[in-house]
Structure 1
Amino acid sequence: MIVQIGKESHAWTRADLEGKLAGYARVLIDVGTGDGRFVYRSAGAHADTYCIGVDPAGERMREVSWRAGRKVARGGRPNALFVVASVQALPEELTGLAHTLTVNFPWASLLSALVLPEAPVLEALRRLVRPGGELIALLNQSVFDDRPYAARLGLPELSDAQVEEVLRPAYRAAGFAIRESALVEGDMPHQTSWGQHLTLASGRRTRLLTAEAIG
């Protein structure tokens, strides 16, 4: 797999990664991590967790991966890693590692894959998570509430009925049992740069979707 470290990218094996994981109690993987700041903050807040951000745009992670590589006294995060990959080609090296898998305010193809939903993408995400691990997804509900706009994007209605009748069986078939689907007004359970941008305007709503990895 390709790892972003500042301006440079490096090829890592599973053995390279396992060497870094030694001594950490948990692994968090954030797919579609964008600029990586959520992973950087999570690594700082949870010293016992190894936090991995995954995004196809390595250049967007340059700054935060450089900061993470500094000495701890200068803001370094030895428990943070940034991997260059798309959800359509997730590295095998990450298989079965995540205690927690997060998808924060996805857009474009990743958003469509979660809500249509698309079985190959759900199955690829499931492969990242160990049995009993959790998926936490934050979705911009306001996009779906604007039906003309959502229709132009090819997105379905994202209602409680849609979650129960369409998402729940599809997620279960992929190995995820949905545990919660809730609308959140105002502050998010956790913040991301993109999420803050989306929710600055009043009236924005977020759907929190959680699921357990089964099978």
Structure 2
Amino acid sequence: MIVQLGKASVTWTCADLEAKLAGHARVLIDVGTGDGRFVYRSAGAHPDTYCIGVDPAGERMREVSWRASRKPARGGRPNALFVVASVQALPEELAGLAHTLTLNFPWASLLSALVLPEAPVLEALRRLVRPGGELIALLNQSVFDDRPYAARLGLPELSDAWIDDALRPAYRAAGFEIRASEIVDGEVPHQTSWGQHLTLASGRRTRLLTAEAIGGSASAAPG
């Protein structure tokens, strides 16, 4: 798999990753991590958790991956990793690792895949999570509340009824059982650069969607 280390993109093997995972009690994977700051902050707050950010745009993760590679005394995060990959081609090395999978304010094709929903993407995400692990998604509900705008983007009305009728069965078929869906006004459970920008604007609402990985062990993700 391709890992971003500052300005360089390097190839890691399973053995490289296993060596880094050793000694960590948990693994967090953040898909669509953007600039990676959520992963960087999470790694600092939870040193027992190995935090992995995944995004197809490696250049956006250059700065934070460089900071993470420094010595801990200078702000380094030895338990943070930044992987260059799209959700359509997730590395096999990440299959079945995540205790927690996060999707923080996804946009464009990833957002559409989560809410339409699209089975191949849900199945690819499921392959990242170990049985009993959790999926936590923060969605910008205000986009869906603006129906003319959402319609132009091809997005459905993200209502409780849509979640019950469309999302629950599709997620269950992919190996996720939706446990809760709620609107959060004001502070969100955790912040990202993108999410913080959204919530600073007046009237923004966030939908918190949580699900549990059910079924057997995840199979390898397609390369």
1:7 paired to 2:30:
no
Matching residue of 1:206:
206
| CA apart distance, 1:8 | 0.3
Task: Give the distance between the partners of 1:25 and 1:214, measured in 2 at CA.
Answer: 21
The match for 1:30 is 30
Q: CA deviation at 1:200?
A: 1.3
Structure 1 residue 201: deviation in Å? Answer: 1.2
* Residue 134 (str. 1) matches residue 134 (str. 2): yes
Structure 1 stretches of 4+ moved >3 Å? none
Hey, what's the Cα distance between the residues in 2 that align with 1:35 and 1:200? 18
Where does 1:164-203 land on structure 2 (aligned, <5 Å)? Answer: 164-203=164-203
2:62 matched residue in structure 1: 62
Matched residue type, 2:146: D
Q: How far apart are residue 164 of structure 1 and its match?
A: 0.6
TM-superposed deviation, 1:67: 0.1
- Once residues 186 and 66 of structure 1 are traced to their aligned partners in structure 2, the CA distance between those partners, rounded to angstroms, is 32
The one-letter amino acid of 1:75's match is: G
Instruction: Name the CA distance, whole Å, in 2 between partners of 1:10 and 1:201.
Output: 38
Summarize deviations over 1:61-118 as a string: whole Å, max 9, x none: 0000000000000000000000000011100110000000000000000000000000
Shift of 1:15: 1.2
| Identity over aligned pairs, percent | 89
**RMSD, aligned α-carbons:** 0.4
Pair 1:39-2:31 in alignment: no
| Distance (Å, rounded) in 2 between the aligned partners of 1:136 and 1:109 | 18
1:113 aligned partner: 113
Letter of the 1:14 counterpart? C
TM-score normalised over the length of structure 1: 1.00
Shift of 1:198: 1.2
Q: Find the residue that maps to 2:208 and give its secondary structure.
A: strand
**CA positional deviation for 1:202:** 1.1
Partner Cα separation in structure 1 for residue 185 and residue 203 of structure 2? 8
Match of 1:144 in 2: 144
For residues 32 and 161 of structure 2, the distance between their equivalents in structure 1, rounded to whole angstroms, comes to 27
Q: Which residue of 1 aligns with 2:163?
A: 163
Gaps in structure 1 of 5+ consecutive residues? none
Q: CA deviation at 1:186?
A: 0.5
Deviation string, structure 1 residues 106-163 (Cα, Å, up to 9, x no partner): 0000000000000000000000000000000000000000000000000000000000
Structure 2 length-normalised TM: 0.96
For 1:86, the equivalent position in structure 2 comes to 86
- CA deviations 1:154-176 (Å, max 9, x no partner) are 00000000001110000000000
